[in-house]
Amino acid sequence: MDTTPDRILGRCLSKVKPLVSEAERSPMGAMKKLIQEQPDIRNLALGEASFDPPDELVQIASSVMADKVARPNRYTTTRGLPEMRQAAARFTERLTGIAVDADETILITVGGTEALHLATKVLLEPGDRVLLANPGWGPMATLAQRQGAALEYYELEKQEAWHITEEPILERLEPGVKLVVVNSPSNPTGAMISAEGLRRVVERAKETETFVISDEVYHNFAYSRPFASALPYDPSLENLMLVNSFSKSLAITGWRLGYAIAHPWLIRQMDVYKESMSACTPSVAQWAVAQYLDSADEYLAGVSALCESNVRRLTEIMRAIPGVKCPAAEGGFYLFPSFEGMGLTSMQVVERLLRGGVAVTSGSAFGSLGEAAVRLCVAMYWEDLEVAARRIEAALTSS
């Protein structure tokens, strides 16, 4: 078959320069399709919780839609509903101890993803040096690359547990590095950075005039050390942006609700850009979470305890499989075990587990240090995870 672009696309489309390459596609799309085709597969591949969002929040959202006075089905301002920005500011103060200005320094976004998209658009120019984690969340690298940035990496430490040590970051932070991204707790490892480590990174970044993005979307899932936000180390937001989201903590990935906290100048830049990109963040999600957030503590503690217990139980099961190394996760909702000892590549493990009825994500999608590893999502009820764990055991121990 003739596969020249002309024949496939026709005259007009073949003149269009591809904006993205198929290689940029995250492995999630293919995985979702496979899972839909085989409903009995246990899905540990996706980066989202399968437990329910808070009942109260769902009820508020349903009644909000019918509210004829507030008119919540319409656009909100691009920056976000004032009530949502104020709720996010109160939440931030509870989490970090720092008061932020809800009018000037918060932008409500279509998930943390849009906040990161806007941040890279505004901050980066072709050739800028960007320092990212290895292993780390793939879309962050894609976003920076799309701006023409040159990617550099700091490695996470893998011992008994995965950990984000500050030394490898500090060693690479030098004048000329435009942006460093810290994601704690981390996707895919669950690694965390200590408060002191984060303070040192933010301080050094001020000296080298490097901008810091602290991606805190897994803030609710901190187990073996307390969650540390970067905000207390640069409360004036001179060279720091916080990215946060309710996707993971409230199990509402599909509602698309996140926010950025940054310097008023940056927020204005992102706000103007967003206007022509998404106009506003889904209105019903904003109205409902704004009403619910102050009473979310019990739910948040419950899902954090569930994930912590899942992490502990699954780690034990994985460690008992000969040849598997499973560093503990300090937080987050993933385990990132290595199968190097079994002589298997990431993709070989993915395929073997898929044949055994469990979908997982290849570690190689998260950087060179992810090779021979896979990512297992634990954010589900234990009964579901246990079935998957037993299938993993069987698939890896049968010859």
Binding site for ligand PLP (CB under 6 A): 47, 111-113, 137, 183, 187, 215, 217, 245, 247, 253, 258
Q: Which tokens sit at 56?
A: 């109260």
CB nearer ligand PLP, residue 114 or residue 166: 114
CB nearer ligand PLP, residue 286 or residue 324: 286
* Closest CB 188 distance from ligand PLP, rounded Å: 8
The 3-state DSSP class for residue 148 equals coil
Alpha-carbon torsion (305, 184, 358, 322), positive or negative? negative
* Closest CB 111 distance from ligand PLP, rounded Å: 3
* Closest CB 14 distance from ligand PLP, rounded Å: 34
CB nearer ligand PLP, residue 54 or residue 112: 112
- List all residues 6 or more positions away from 223 whose beta carbon is below 8 Å from its beta carbon: 304, 308, 311, 329, 330, 331
Distance (Å, whole) CA 105 – CA 264: 5
CB nearer ligand PLP, residue 221 or residue 287: 221
CB nearer ligand PLP, residue 107 or residue 321: 107
Q: Using alpha carbons only, what angle is made at residue 205 by residues 202 and 208, rounded to the nearest 5 degrees?
A: 160
CB nearer ligand PLP, residue 353 or residue 365: 365
* Closest CB 247 distance from ligand PLP, rounded Å: 3
* Closest CB 256 distance from ligand PLP, rounded Å: 7
Distance (Å, whole) CA 399 – CA 392: 13
CB nearer ligand PLP, residue 105 or residue 113: 113
CB atoms within 10 A of CB 130: 26
Q: Which tokens sit at 35?
A: 């899972």
Q: Which whole-number Å values give the CA distances from 297 to 294, 302, 334, 376, 390, in the listed order?
A: 8, 9, 22, 26, 33
Token pair 């503590």 in the structure block, residue:
297
CB nearer ligand PLP, residue 137 or residue 339: 137
* Closest CB 27 distance from ligand PLP, rounded Å: 13
Q: Which tokens sit at 386?
A: 């246990």
* Closest CB 68 distance from ligand PLP, rounded Å: 30
- List all residues 6 or more positions away from 261 whose beta carbon is below 8 Å from its beta carbon: 92, 100, 105, 106, 231, 237, 241, 242, 244
* Closest CB 232 distance from ligand PLP, rounded Å: 21
